[in-house]
Amino acid sequence: MLILVAVGFCATTTLWSGDNTRQSSHIVSQVDHVMIVSNRAKELFALLKETLQLPVAWPMTSYGGFASGGVAVGNMNLEVVESAESAAGAASARYAGFALEPEPLRTSVPELDARGIRHGAPQPFRSRQLFGSTKTLWTTVALPTVSSENVEVFLCEYGPTLSARRDQLREQLQSRGGGPLSVQSVQGMVYGTRDSKQIEAQWQKILNPLKPSSQGSWRIGSGPELRMVQDDHDEIQGLVVNVKSLDQARRFLKEQALLGRNQSDSLTLGGSLLEGLNISLVEQRSGGL
């Protein structure tokens, strides 16, 4: 969820061998969700839920200073957020950041400290229940070394049923044949940065012992690949989504007046609600980032 909704958390297990040599495990399990801020968030959420028929990970809900809703895209979620800041002004949508699913939270912060990685304090988001009690919905930890003015990156820990819930949502998507676009999963996320060498080093520090799949790219767990590219701005450039049939997706997007760039091996989503976002469709495993 948006950093207002969830400022993520990354966890890892610290072990010690007999010779007192410290062994570290993974901090991050995968990319959990990508945040989209829109001043027409409710309409955009409806398009994703109803028109594109993506399963609802959580309904559009008000959390006080902002409203948020999530849809599942196979191996991760998209969060659509309308905050007080984004509610005014011309129609727009933009990627605001992304949350990383951690290993157990209780070991994540010590591991971040052991690696010398600056991070925020754990921030639990609590919801008031009946009779005045509260329930922690999620806990987040900011990661400033890989964040920027335009991209919030954080660890986000939910309850113990997260994996089961993700499996349920994936099964829902599969039972719908991926919806009218035949969506399978998110292949990758392209992250532009002004200092690729420096940011790659910071990411490697967080993702160790995971090795890059290629220069500046990491495939983290079963989630999308994270790819760094040199850019004039620090920003999420776009998502690459695997679909089963580009021809099917192309026909549907034309019918709905939602077709953007139309190439033989890839498509992009268009339309006013998606303006400002770059969501590319490629046939499963036929294309890369």
- Tell me, what's the pLDDT at 84? 65
For residue 59, what are the domain limits?
A: 14-283
Is residue 187 within 8 A of residue 224, CB to CB? The reply is yes
Cα first-last separation, the chain: 24
Report d(CA 250, CA 259) in Å as an integer: 7
- Structural domain includes residue 115: yes
Six-digit token string for 201: 């080093």
Q: Is residue 23 part of a domain?
A: yes
Contacts of 268 (CB under 8 A, 6+ apart): 260, 261, 278, 279, 280, 281
In a domain, 43, yes or no: yes
Q: What is the mean pLDDT of residues 143-152?
A: 96
- Please report which confidence band the pLDDT of residue 159 belongs to, taking 50, 70 and 90 as the band edges: confident
CATH number of domain containing 53: 3.10.180.10
Q: Is residue 1 included in any domain, yes or no?
A: no
Amino acid at 49: K
At residue 204's C-alpha, the angle toward residues 110 and 214, to 5°, is: 150
Residue 146 falls inside a structural domain: yes
CB atoms within 10 A of CB 244: 14
The Cα 166–Cα 74 span in angstroms is 8
Two structure tokens written together for 133: 């009690």
Residue 128 lies in a domain: yes
Q: Which residues contact 38 (CB under 8 A, 6 or more apart)?
A: 44, 80, 81, 82, 86, 92, 93, 94, 273
Query: Which of 29-43, 72-86, 124-138, 265-279 has the weakest average pLDDT?
Result: 124-138
Structure confidence at residue 23 (pLDDT): 58
Instruction: Decide the pairing of beta strands 267-269 and 259-262.
Output: antiparallel
Residues 6 or more apart whose CB falls under 8 angstroms from that of 82 comprise: 37, 38, 39, 40, 41, 42, 66, 67, 68
Q: Give the whole-number percent of the chain exceeding pLDDT 90.
A: 72
d(CA 257, CA 74): 24
Q: Which residues, other chains included, contact 202 with Cβ-Cβ below 8 Å and sequence gap of 6+?
A: 145, 146
* Res. 173: pLDDT tops 70: yes
pLDDT (tens digit per residue) in 52-111: 999 999 999 988 778 999 999 999 999 999 976 655 566 689 999 999 999 888 888 899
CA dihedral 253, 258, 262, 265 (to 10 degrees): -50
Number of domains in the chain: 1
Domain for residue 288, yes or no?
Answer: no
Output the average pLDDT for the chain: 87
Spatial contact of 102 and 58, defined as CB atoms under 8 Å apart = no
Q: Is residue 132 one of the residues assigned to a domain?
A: yes
1-5, 15-19, 41-45: least confident range: 15-19
